[in-house]
Chain A
Amino acid sequence: MSLWRIAWRSIQQRALASSLTGVSMALGVMLVVAVLVAHGVINQSFLNNSGLGYNIVVGAKGGRLDLVLNSVYYLSRPVENIPYAYYQQFTEGKFKPYVDKAIPLCLGDMYRDFRVIGTTPAMFNDLDYGGKKYEFADGRNFEPDEYYGAVVGSIVARDAGLKVGDKFQPSHGAGPEAHVHDPFTVRGVLKPTGTPNDRGLFINMEGFYLIPEHAKPLDDAPAARPHDDHAEEHAEKHHDHDHHEEPAADAKHADDHEGTDGGVRVSEPKHAEESAEHHDEHADSHDKDHEHDDAHQHDHDHHAHTPLPLAQREVTAILVLSAGTFPELTALELMKPINKDSVAQAVLPIREMSSLFSTFVDPLQLVLLSLTVMIVIVSGIGILVSIYNSMSDRRHEIAVIRALGAGRRTVMFIVLLESILLSLAGGLAGWIVGHGLIAALSPWIATQTGVSIGFWQFVSYELVIIPGLIALASLVGYLPAVAAYRTDVAKALTTTP
């Protein structure tokens, strides 16, 4: 009979004490697994976004972390804005040589509990996440000329019940007195990405600017409104809310912007012209494809909206992917002049998050981990007490085993095995229950964090659990094992049990 079997039998003999100590060990290991996996999830949801698709975030000077939390994770308090002209430096100005991609973000609005992000279609057309292209579970990206077009993240779609064709109204700030204005129409629902984008509503920046409170008041250039009566008239109409059709950019009106931007070179007309062409094609195809698409039934003479003059525009952040063979080096070159300027700051989101983690999250995790490891150690001491208590009863049995020819080392080893078996059995049970719980909770975790984890998802630290348990078991088993080693066989045999 193997020594394992002998050890296991003796565990079975003390079934109650064994299962109690085993359960406490299981609980301890379960908690360790939970903390480790939680750590992994948090890390993954924040740090492993190395595939953000961009490497620099540019925003107003201020808290670097705030900027990252806002523009990458859509968390934290809203930050200040920077002029639109500054954004143009990235698309066509002095920073352009350093830039591969630059996506503007306008933050500050909410829909229910979700952030509304004003941006351009490039957000999903040009950016990758984790090396993958954004895909749509339903619908498509909004077009540049669909001023009131929107794309929603998978979690938003599910929780807010938004689907393609639905309309929603972003609210400015948290106040309930939010103004009523034109609604945005959902054009597409993103497939789950495991990124913060799952929790965002992305609206066309042009529409965002047309929400009344989003126009930056022009103190020095009050005349910088579109000097087109037509447009003015329609801007008023817009305020009256006498129409809710999907607006579209119109080449004629876009032309009228030239020179209204207070000095910044305007690229809008060209852009708008392209859009207009695009739009026409689009409208045609939509007439064929979507019979329900009343949004495109608009009257081309009825010019719904005029883009906000550039001077009144602001962006909250610019997501930048630096250009070049070594984008990291380019990034550093690009960041230097930006950070020297008084307008904006450029930060590396990964670096900010790493430093947040190493100063705040990691120590917290360490404390939690220490506590749970402590529970495991206490469970180990429970095993020690349980086995040690049984030793007085078992002295006789050990003497019998010795009388059958087992050496001192053998009986010592049997007791050690007992401790190891109990720890490992408890630990394994705890590990399975832990992972089972995580698997059961994984839909919820995915909702909360965008990270989906399955039963078989391990954290590499977990590999330490098994050798750790064996070491702990040997340590706590040592005392009773020595008692077994020291058993006086002749004496124990002559004292009746």
Chain B
Amino acid sequence: MLLLQDVHKTFREPDGSALPILSIKEFRVAAAEQAVLMGRSGSGKTTLLHIIAGISRPDSGVVRIDGHDITSLSEAGRDRFRADKIGYVFQTFNLLPGFSALENVMLGMSFAGGRPDAARARRLLERVQLKHRLTHRPAMLSVGEQQRVAVARALANRPKLLLADEPTANVDSGHQQQIVDLIRQTCQEENVALLLVTHASEVAEQFNRVDRLEDFNCVEATV
């Protein structure tokens, strides 16, 4: 499903010095697999997810998703690929404040080829127990509810791969488990592969497969 090979990413600091972030020999996630990647803050988790999602490009290496090497695609091609195949749950939810919960979910389907499917958007919101919050704006929802809307939105377009970037980091502790469970269950129901990144061990421990970014990221060696 997902294959990373020899992926390197180096940022250039404002002072001109090079800041290597990622140097990954190989990393895989199988179809419908649920993997967690642990890493401390600043270790490059978000950078890696951006690369997988095609939002940014690695300096070198191969990112193969569902048989397509997205590093060979143009930016527009990656945008389209992301719209079709990848769901993204952000650490800060990133719901659009001007849109209702339902509209936020519909937005997740607006940029792929097909017509937005309002019925599916409603079903997904029902699935995340927000049946009675369809027309609420994000500001009128609790953080836990907001993140549930974000999960529904990420799954809206039937992606093959869901990327979750510290989805519980901004949720109050009482609802963190609920979010993790929801993500895992819905991914299973929808038959979607999941790559969740987190710095929280209590979240990571629940997964069968836990990788530590530091273990296979060789940046330290290169510095």
Contacts and interface: CB of A to CB of B under 8 A. Distances in A.
A403 B80 CA distance: 10
Contacts of A400: 90, 94, 96
Interface stretch (B105-113, B127-135, B183-191, B199-207): B105-113
A406 interface: yes
B84 interface: yes
Contacts of B153: 404
A9 interface: yes
**Chain A interface main SS type:** helix
A404 B50 contact: no
A178 B56 CA distance: 94
Given A1-B110, A396-B94, A403-B55, 17 more contacts: A1-B106, A1-B109, A9-B96, A10-B98, A401-B96, A403-B88, A404-B83, A405-B79, A405-B80, A405-B83, A406-B110, A407-B76, A407-B80, A408-B76, A489-B50, A493-B50, A493-B55
A238 interface: no
Contact of A407 (B56, B79, B99): B79
For the complex of A and B, 6 pairs with smallest distance between CB atoms: A405-B83, A405-B111, A13-B98, A407-B79, A490-B56, A9-B98
Interface in A451-476: none
Nearest to A409: B76
A418 to B, nearest CB: 12
A410 B47 CA distance: 24
A403 B98 contact: no
Contacts of B80: 405, 407
24 contacts: A1-B107, A1-B109, A5-B103, A9-B103, A400-B96, A401-B96, A402-B55, A403-B53, A404-B83, A404-B107, A404-B108, A405-B80, A405-B82, A405-B86, A405-B111, A406-B79, A407-B79, A407-B80, A407-B111, A408-B75, A408-B79, A489-B55, A489-B56, A490-B55
A494 B79 contact: no
Given A407-B79, A494-B46, A401 B98 contact: no
A405 B97 contact: no
B7 to A, nearest CB: 15
Contacts of B76: 407-409
A12 interface: yes
A359 interface: no
Nearest to A12: B98
Interface string A1-41: 11101100110110000000000000000000000000000
A396 B99 CA distance: 15
Contacts of B97: 13, 397
Contact of B110 (A12, A397, A403, A404): A404
A9 B99 contact: yes
B92 interface: yes
Contacts of B88: 403-404
B116 interface: yes
Contacts of A490: 47, 50, 55-56
A493 B46 CA distance: 10
B147 to A, nearest CB: 14
A3 B116 CA distance: 12
A285 interface: no
Nearest to B95: A400
Contacts of B111: 401, 404-407, 410
A359 B112 CA distance: 60
B43 to A, nearest CB: 14
